[in-house]
Amino acid sequence: MMRARILHTMLRVGDMERSVEFYTKVLGMHVLRTLDQAVDHYSLTFLGYGEETDTAVLELTYNHGVSVYEMGSAYGHIAIGVDDCQAACTEVLAKGGDVVMLPQRLKGSDETIAFVRDPDGYHIELVEHADGEWLGERV
C-alpha cells in the first residue's frame, strides 16, 4: 500500500475573521498560513496545534461574498483530543464559545466527550481519553 496521511479538513466559513478568532482564541489553534486568491474570489487560512508536516490541520475557506452555508446532513463533526474535557469546556465558555453538550462519559469506553459549536454552526467534539492516547502520550 502507498504511504499516505491525512493533511487537512476543509470547512467553508461565512466570515474568515470571526472563524479564525474562534479557532485561535477559543480553541487555542495557531494560524499556520494563509492564501488569498482575489482573482478566484476565495481566501484560505490553515490552522492547527502543530506544524502541517507533523499533523493534520484545519483549512478554513471563505468564498468572497458568501456569508451563510446550509449545514448538510452528511457532515458530522471534527474531533479534538484534550487532556481534561471539563476544563476545556469551562475554558471555551469563558472565552465566549458555545458548549452544546457538556462532558459525559461514553458508555462502554474510557472516553469522556463534549461538543462545542463554532460560529458557522459546525460541531467540534472534545475527546478526553483516560490514558492520554489522543494526545500522543500514555499515562
Encoded amino acid at 131, one letter:
D
For the chain, the farthest-separated pair of C-alpha atoms sits apart, in whole angstroms, at 52
pLDDT of 138: 47
Which residue positions in the chain have pLDDT lower than 70?
A: 1, 132-139
Q: Is 125 annotated in the active site?
A: yes
Q: How far apart are CA 95 and CA 26, in angstroms?
A: 6
User: Looking at residue 39, what is its pLDDT?
Assistant: 95
The predicted-structure confidence for 46-78, as pLDDT tens digits, reads as follows 999 999 999 999 999 999 999 999 888 888 999
CA 43 to chain centroid, in Å, comes to 18
Q: Which amino acid is at 89?
A: C
Q: What is the model's pLDDT at position 139?
A: 42
Cβ contact 11:122 at 8 Å: yes
Annotated active-site residue in 21, 59, 111, 125 = 125
Asked whether the CA dihedral 66, 97, 54, 109 is positive or negative, the reply is: negative
pTM for this prediction: 0.85
What are the grid coordinates assigned to 113, written together?
466527550
Gap between the Cα atoms of 37 and 133, Å rounded? 38
